[in-house]
Structure 1
Amino acid sequence: MPDFITLDALVRNTAQARPDRIAVIDGERKLRYAEFDALIDRIAAALQRDGVKPTDAISICALSSIEYAATFLGALRVGVAVAPLAPSSTAQDFAAMVKDSSAKILFTDDFAAEAMKDAAIDASVRRVALDGGASGAAFSGWLAAEGAKAAPVSVDPEWVFNIIYSSGTTGTPKGIVHTHSLRWRQYGQLDPLGYGPEAVTLLSTPLYSNTTLVCFNPTLAGGGTLVLMKKFDARGFLDLAQQHRVTHAMLVPVQYRRIMALPEFGSYELSSFVMKFCTSAPFAAELKRDILARWPGGLTEFYGMTEGGGSCALLAHEHPDKLGTVGQPMPDHIIRLIDEDGNFLPQGSIGEIVGRSAVVMTGYLNQPQKTAETFWTDKDGQRWVRTGDVGRFDQDGFLTLMDRKKDMIISGGFNIYPSDIEAIASQHPAVLEVAVVGMPSEDWGETPVAFVVARPGATLDPAELKAWTNAKVGKTQRLSEVVLSEALPRSAIGKVLKRELRDQRLAAGAVS
């Protein structure tokens, strides 16, 4: 493998070698690699024309589109970092992220403009509307002339590739800095995941998410085709997968659940699939088993942090007896467990997960204190990333996640892992989804409360489910309450927002 090649250079190589290969599909629109590369050139030239220099940054906040993908690559071509932002952000957070990234230009569309309408963004930040809407200067008019090319830039591998902002579920979003060299270590490794010139990857998660970029980048690096989905719906996903003979897809667990629940799932022709991926949220073993049984192709679950450090992969199709785990550490990734005092724990023990590898963020942008808190140094001077997750390794080296450390419930002095209770309650035939949260208790300090979504058409009695679950769990794990919910609050990439559940219940005056 070469020492280092930028992602945009690999796109250019494909444009020269296979100019007619389809690079991006966006609804009815298709762009071949030669056309895509020419568009990237025009964007890169326009950025230079506007005085955006190497190591500067731009921000993009919009639905997935050809223009979004090309703008991302155009910035990389001239050494400019990209800060992709979530349209679901609050106006306050949105303004803070644009300021924190020092973005010179904000690329947006009418959908995202609604989210930022009350955001106090500095007037010096130029706005360009990717969809030609009212949110900024029209993209078509902003572009450099056809045939324009930027002055060549020799990109330093340690320059910033992207700034990914954390979801903000635990406070103000932090800018996670990834370099070109980090991304190269990811997209330069195309096998054994099957990426290559024949890959067709369907992206149904947003491009501001690292979850999406870990498929976006290698697809383009290998000369494959991207199929963009602006907003996910289960039938729409299957329609696109069948129509375009999709080979790869990254989905979060809630998306898999909705797809597999469709009565007509079996009528779709999905034999083209090579590999399906999942990450970002707990992935139930029963759901994995159902996917393996009914959906052609392999299934790989990734566990790790956007910050990097150590990651695990479970090739579920190769290890059907390990579906309750998140797999084993990936090659050259080291993962260990530590106790509260920072001591390494033996196999079989439960502890906080820490990891290290060459794939690790530079740090949180402009937040040295937060960066320092995320890293931990052992007695031998080795630096590790603290995940905040609690887990346990089995005798074969497969990692089972217990919970987020912050979600662990301490009731009467006992440590209770919500995932243990969720695994039991979810087996009830009337339960679709369940999230267990620790609520304040005058008697026990904290007590577990289950928030439950019933299966469509099912009748669910909270008292009956509470008794059913409590008969199957340990004495200290017993639920104090079951709360029926129409839906669980989730982030844009499917993580259950337990803090929102807790806050809503506290606002209702619920204390046991």
Structure 2
Amino acid sequence: MLNIPQNTLPDMWTYHARTAPRKTAITCGAESITWGEFGARMNQVCHALAGLGVQRGERIAFVMSNTIEYLVLLCGAMKYGACVVPISTLLAPEQIATLANDSDSRFLFTDAGFIDVITAIRGTLTHVGKGGIFSSQGEDGCRSIRDLLSNTACEEPGIALNLDDLMNISYSSGTTGLPKGVVYSHRARAHMGMTYAIAMKFGPTSRSLLTTPIYSNGTWITLWPALLTGGEIVIMPAFTPSSCLELMQQHRITHAFMVPTQFIRLMAEPRFRDFDLSSLRMCLTAGSNMSVEVKRQVFAAFGPCLHELYGCSEGGATIITPEELQQRMASVGRPTPGFDTRILGGDDREVARNEPGEIAFYGGWMMRGYHNNPEQTEAATWRDEHGREFIRTGDIGRMDEDGYLYVVDRKKDMIISGGFNVFPSDIEAILQQCPEVLEATVIGAPHPLWGETPVAFIIPRHAAKAEAPAIAAWANERLAKTQRIAKVVLMDEFPRNALGKVMKRELKNALPATLD
């Protein structure tokens, strides 16, 4: 009998480097590299890590800006068989140290933009030994990445990966509590890349724009299918509406992932109509809820290319195409190929169609578990009648008769006012229709009579003209009695995580203990 093939994502990268060496692979700013150069540089990383004595599955942390160097190091370490740990650059220094320590990372790579942060926490990194920190040029006593890779071989390292080897630990950029380390195998990431490549029609002629940080798990929704199919990737060092539009036009971008806030900001750009975006074949939104009103605006502005994906970092997703969206604007689609979705009631039994309950996923790219946290792994697990282990999302949704999912809200965000369940997303959808509102988010504030009451935070479309009482009155005329807003707070910007999701915990911390 033949051995079972172990085709991993790095195997596909090697294939493209060998078969299309002169084809452009990655562009960032003025720098571009071909697939042949990408392959050679990944091989250099492999040989360098071997020289450091890195073992298979050993953790390597990354705290870096969006650059070609970052992607080369990340993919090279994966190809070598290390387990990579991309860490958010939005975190405080102490939080970065906590995640590096929690992941048991032995080495850490950074760049000039974050060398001060890493220097400040150097003494608190419990697993990174002396000489284990590398920066681009060897700044401030770190070892130099350039020196590490100089004079290393470009030939294939001859490493045979197994699909069940660990590939990475992703720390969720969630909006509550300390992020948990989500552990993935090569099998899970390869399945994810293939699933999304099919669902969003990636191919060798695709030109994908990365508008979000490389460390973000959401960015990988389009990164892996782009690399899997041998397309071209254009990296944005940092997002601005004008530079995004310029890059889309200049590089004839076909695929782009953006969070709802980015779509809103693009459409608000005064020069939006001046750009030729006719090359776009697929625009994806994910990471946080996009209201029906904004979806309609995106269709009008970009044409019928919007896809929406709903899922969780732990594994599982639904996706809806533009054709389906036009018929079901409020839905987030059906499970991606290879996945099953269940809706669970309060007794952990499945509910009937169109009844709300907690969303749970089962399928091919689920996590192996939370790193060093079997208790939380078990708490996030639901088992069906066959013993299959589903991942609980903590989100409330319902599924219609045709299998389309509708996300009602996050379980933790639900407001209980006077004994009634009030979902912030319902109020936000109404607020988004107000002419004076650019963005809206709603939380529950303590109330002495009702227990909780809705409070709306608003980014106004015209700051100089906006009046909080007028917006509250406009909305309350259109809301049910149990949904009515007690207060509107005007803001210039919301506190957000890496994918633009509003950090509602920070908004709650800014409120008084109770509202009269």
TM-score (norm 1): 0.95
Instruction: Tell me if the contact between 2:175 and 2:501 (Cα under 8 Å) persists in the aligned partners.
Output: no
In 2, the alpha carbon distance for the partners of 1:204 and 1:17 equals 28
1:154-193 matches, within 5 Å, as 154-167=160-173, 169-189=175-195, 190-193=197-200
The alignment partner of 2:106 has SS state of strand
Please name the residue that 1:249 is paired with. Answer: 256
Q: Work out the CA distance in 1 between the residues paired with 2:430 and 2:327.
A: 19
Counterpart in the other structure of 1:359: 365
Counterpart AA for 1:121 = L
Do 1:430 and 1:458's aligned partners in 2 also have CA atoms closer than 8 Å?
no
Shift of the 150–132 alpha-carbon distance from structure 1 to 2, 3 Å rule, reads farther
| Structure 1 segments unaligned to the other structure (5+ residues) | none
**1:106–1:127: 8 Å Cα contact kept in structure 2?**
yes
**Does the 8 A contact of 1:177 with 1:361 survive in 2?**
yes
Query: What residue ranges of structure 2 are gaps of 5+ in the alignment?
Result: none
- What is the CA deviation profile of residues 177-225 of structure 1, one whole-angstrom value per residue up to 9, with x for unaligned ones? 1110011112234324221211111101011111111211111111111
Contact 1:64/1:228 (CA < 8 Å) preserved in 2?
yes
- Residue 293 (structure 1) shift: 2.3
**SS of residue paired to 1:428:** coil
| Equivalent-residue separation in structure 2 for 1:244 and 1:133 (angstroms) | 34
Find the counterpart in structure 2 of residue 51 from structure 1. Answer: 53
Q: What SS does the aligned partner of 2:278 have?
A: coil
| Cα contact 1:88–1:115 (8 A) shared by 2 | no
Quick one: distance in 2 between partners of 1:135 and 1:362? Answer: 37
Which stretch has the larger CA shift, 168-177 or 453-462? 453-462
CA distance in 2, matches of 1:388, 1:403: 9
Q: 1:108-507 counterparts in 2 under 5 A?
A: 108-119=110-121, 120-122=124-126, 124=129, 126-130=132-136, 133-134=139-140, 136-149=142-155, 151-167=157-173, 169-189=175-195, 190-296=197-303, 298-308=305-315, 310-457=316-463, 459-506=465-512
Give me the whole-angstrom Cα distance separating, in 1, the residues matched to 2:403 and 2:252.
Answer: 36
Structure 1: which amino acid aligns with 2:425?
S
Shift of residue 319, structure 1, vs aligned partner: 3.1
State the Cα distance separating 1:443 from its structure 2 match.
0.5
Amino acid at match of 1:11: W
Do 1:44 and 1:149's aligned partners in 2 also have CA atoms closer than 8 Å? Answer: no
Percent identity over the alignment is 36
The number of aligned residues is 508
Q: Which moved more, 1:251-260 or 1:389-398?
A: 389-398
Question: What RMSD, in angstroms, separates the aligned Cα atoms of the two structures?
Answer: 1.8
Relative distance call for 1:211 and 1:3 in structure 2 (3 A) is farther
In structure 2, C-alpha distance between the alignment counterparts of 1:246 and 1:134, rounded to whole Å: 39
Letter in 1 for 2:291: A
The Cα of 1:263 is off from its aligned counterpart by: 2.4
Q: Which amino acid aligns with 2:53?
A: G
Amino acid paired to 1:92: E
AA at the equivalent of 1:430? E
Indicate how the Cα distance of structure 1 residues 330 and 378 shifts in structure 2: closer, same or farther if over 3 A, else same.
same
Residues 135 and 497 of structure 1, relative CA distance in 2, 3 Å threshold: farther
CA distance in structure 2 between the partners assigned to 1:61 and 1:86 by the alignment? 7
SS at match of 1:341: coil
Give the whole-Å Cα distance in 1 for the aligned partners of 2:125 and 2:37.
34
**CA distance in structure 2 between the partners assigned to 1:504 and 1:352 by the alignment:** 29
SS at match of 2:218: helix
Structure 1, 399-408 or 484-493: larger mean CA deviation: 484-493
How far apart are the structure 2 equivalents of 1:422 and 1:290?
16
For 1:98, give the aligned amino acid.
Answer: A
Q: Structure 2 counterpart of 1:384, which letter? A: F
Match of residue 74 from structure 2: 72
What SS class does the counterpart of residue 164 from structure 2 fall into? coil
SS of match in other structure, 1:241: helix
Partners of 2:140 and 2:203 lie apart in 1 by: 38
The code of the aligned residue for 1:139 comes to I
**Separation in 2 of the partners of 1:72 and 1:297?**
34
